[in-house]
Amino acid sequence: MSMTHVGRRLFLAGTAASLGVIAFGGGVPAAVRSWLESPLGDLSPSDGFHFYSVTGSIPQWEPQTWRLVVDGLVDRPLALARDELTAAGLVTITADFHCVTGWSVSSVRWAGLPVRDLLDQAGLRPRATAVRFESADGVYVDYLDLPTARAAGVIIALNMNGKPLTAERGAPGRLVVPFFYGYKGVKWLRRMTAVAEVATGYWEARGYAADARIRH
């Protein structure tokens, strides 16, 4: 997939966040957080979200050729087009979105396919205990243990607030875990791989907590 460049400042923002969690051990310092959350030109539409990319780019995709791959420790590997996913029947969840850097968006309506349905369709093998989620940016990955991946409300979202996902929000599909902070929600999802054990995700490798559960 080709990549659309989104600017030097955005790349530096991702770098600053990485350095922040490494240097300050678990959270983004207030000064860095303020800078990260400042408007990024046309990439911050008025839906309350801020836009981050760890590569400084947005993966492009072709509707005719894009497939969501489900593979690994499964009996029936899948490669599903967007139309096939929508035909399976989307579920809608409404949840507040919380970013670990301190901002939130209330009552976001996501529509997508439950992860557990995709895993059931692929047929998990007994050795599978976790799922690896891979972004089309070629860099961002994260993991969920199997009970979390199969939990109610955990979906591959295709729509947000009644419309297809935009490029900035992770089109064509993104992982949504409504009870976790947003860094677990892999955008531009291209592959789900059933694996034997949980490994370290992108931000966990840079100091974020492996347990991303939102606690009020």
What contacts 147, CB < 8 A, 6 or more positions away? none
- Chain segment 150-177, per-residue pLDDT in tens: 999 999 999 999 999 998 899 999 999 9
Check pLDDT > 50 for residue 60: yes
What does the DSSP 8-state code read for residue 11?
H
For the chain, what's the residue count?
Answer: 216
Q: Where are the domains of the chain?
A: 61-206
Query: Stretch 89-108: mean pLDDT, rounded?
Result: 93
pLDDT at 8: 35
Per-residue model confidence as pLDDT tens digits over 22-34 = 333 334 444 334 4
pLDDT band at 2 (very low <50, low <70, confident <90, very high): very low
| Strand ranges in the chain using DSSP code E only, listed in sequence order | 3-5, 57-59, 68-72, 78-80, 91-98, 104-114, 130-135, 141-145, 155-160, 163-164, 174-176, 189-195
Task: Say which residue, 50 or 116, is predicted with more confidence.
Answer: 116
Q: Which candidate, 12, 36, 11, places its Cα nearest to that of 100? A: 36
Q: Are 115 and 85 in contact (CB under 8 A)?
A: no
Is 80 exceeded by the pLDDT of residue 37? no
Structure tokens at 9: 């400042």
Specify whether domain 61-206 bears CATH 3.90.420.10. yes
pTM: 0.80
Percentage of the chain exceeding pLDDT 90: 64
Order across the sheet with 68-72: list the strands.
Answer: 78-80, 68-72, 189-195, 130-135, 141-145
Is residue 172 reached through a cis peptide bond, with omega within 30 degrees of 0 on the bond before it? yes
CA distance 99 to 162: 22
Query: How many whole angstroms separate alpha carbon 143 and alpha carbon 141?
Result: 7
When the pLDDT of each residue in the chain is averaged and rounded to a whole number, the result is 82
Mean pLDDT of 52-61: 83
CA gap 184, 144 in Å, rounded:
9
> Closest by alpha carbon to 80, among 156, 141, 137, 4?
156
